[in-house]
Structure 1
Amino acid sequence: MNIFFVIFITITQQISPVPLMNGENGFYSASGSFDKPGSVKFILRESYGIGNDTLKNGNVHQTSTNIDLFYTPFTFLQFAGGYRYLSQDTERSGDFFTKAKLPILTMKKLKLSISPCFTHLSAGNNYYTTNINLGIIPLSQKNLPEFLFSQSINIGNRSGKGLLQLASSLLLHSKYFTPFIELYTELPGSFSFQERRNSQFSTGLRYHIAGFDLTGGIGIGLDEVDVRVIDYNFILGLSYSLNIRKKSAGTLLLTLVDKQNNTPVSATVFLKGANVKKSMECNGGICSIKDIPFGFYTLEVKKTGYKTFRIPIFIKTKKFEKIIKLRKIENRKGGDKK
């Protein structure tokens, strides 16, 4: 179970958040990889922005609320849905979106996925887009931070006009910090760079600690000042994720006997793993420990008059049987124990 707390501080000219580019890598570029099967992620983002209205010669105040839910039922399939609410001065709008992410190419250092998406606007208009996400690890050295290049392309048709959104980011992954830079732009209509809008350069830093992600950054608008709507946009986000799939587990069946005569021995059994610590009394030399998640453990058996028995074990089947032969502590001449 992980909890992610995300804070975005951006300077942008964008009227509303980009539905499909949900900022998994940067602010807008999404990830081409998949979460673990059974993963559920809930994201809540609240933003507040201020800009200049050249027609009214005044400031524009904008607030938006974004609620997203992601679910990964299988290794290479992810469903997502969300709601966006936007308030700009006296204007109100909202939209719902849903999408499904599928793999195109999956390699160790290259991930490519595609996400067909349907969006319903509160005004009654619907539109379809396709989101393509590419992730490349160009440089990876042992004991050094890892670079990741990410490219997101969202293409479709909105209100009878073509829509093309591009987001490129470069990240440097380390144990606690992930700095990144990102470039975003939109090409409406004929997809001409002369008609581009909402272009911006962003840079940010993500901090990881104990399951939390804290991110801050700044974006600089690249379009002409007179075509911008929002100059400053502050975003506060909370993300919560968990895995609802029941993990595979097995049962450990133990038989404890004396090494010399093979008679049953009652003893105390300890099982220790990364997230599991169990102990029980093995009366009569036979006992079982149930519901042990698959993985590596240390098995320890203690009995007065016998040497402590300790071995590593790997639980990978539904039933794991083990016969343990305990060795008595022998007394040497003079009272020394062997």
Structure 2
Amino acid sequence: MRILFLTYQGDMAGSTNSIAFLCRGLAKRGHQVYLGIRKESLLWQLVEDSNVVRVPMSFGGKFDLNNWKQIRDVVRQHRIELINAQSSHDRYTSIFANKFFGLGTKIVHTRRQMPLSLGGPVQRFLYNHWTDGIVAVSRQVKEELVKLGFNEANIKVIHNGTPTEKYAHIDMHKTEALRSKFAISENDFVLGCVSRIKNQIQIIKALAHVEQPVKMIFCGIEATEEMKEIIAGYRAAHQVFFEGHVEGDNILPYYKLFDAKILASTMEGLSQSLLEAMALKVPVIATAYAGNLDLIEDRENGLLFEDGDIEKIAELIQRVRSDQSLRNTLIANGKITALQKFNIDRTIANYEEYFQSLVTEN
């Protein structure tokens, strides 16, 4: 197959790595894979030593005629059979370029996050009539799309995956440097959160109900004034650190510090950070919502709480800290879940099969 991937983002750690492994995997399987991205994006670097052909593109908005022409030129020059748009901007540009220039290529969109809203009848028309399929990364994403009026028969669930080799060469020198930075001792309990701003305030509030001191490390955000105010009122001697944005694979050494990982998001289609934690034998606590429900079976490979249940979050933090038998279960089953059930090779094979079915249909 001749496939063009489009993404104007390319700098969001979880989705960026997913797209990189997907492109590289399909290219390794013998398909001709082209990737339209900005040259300054992280994704440009992540595929530079592969068989993926990088195509520099500019992105000026949904109605950027220059971007439409760039898509047109790649499709015609390389006889592209299918375009997979990986971010919201590209869903429009791929549709409009295909129709405006009469390219006749298949159009598939990937939805990586829960759809909070998706416009009105015009957008539903574009998705239901001018595209050939939508990939939803979890059952919950599909269900929400259907509720919004999108054609159920047009939506294929293909779970995100994570690669085994990603975890083979973690820089433990960086981990030790971080351990020293945060002055982590053998008796400390370290709770980690790896995410952009997504309901971390619930975790901050929950720590006020946790009696034993916790070292809490947030990767991906800076403290807000509301967070600072809550932290200042803690009775327990918690230490809370905000690391801001952490580049690419530099995040993996942090997981080696964590005794547990928590995610309070209701946006995740299927969380890469939860997969990373599980693969690295870190017990996970997450919202019983969205793709977390596809990934986590409560008390088997992770712990779930209802969105907004602050006291439950606190209870689970204390439980995963004190119950060694439970920790052992979550660690063992979590690793199997991440590296076997949600292995990236399955994701790549499922995309390959789905794309092939669309390309070969009449």
TM-score (norm 1): 0.31
Select the structure that is richer in strand: 1
The structure with higher relative contact order (CA 8 Å, sep 6+) is 1
TM-score (norm 2): 0.29
Select the structure that is richer in helix: 2
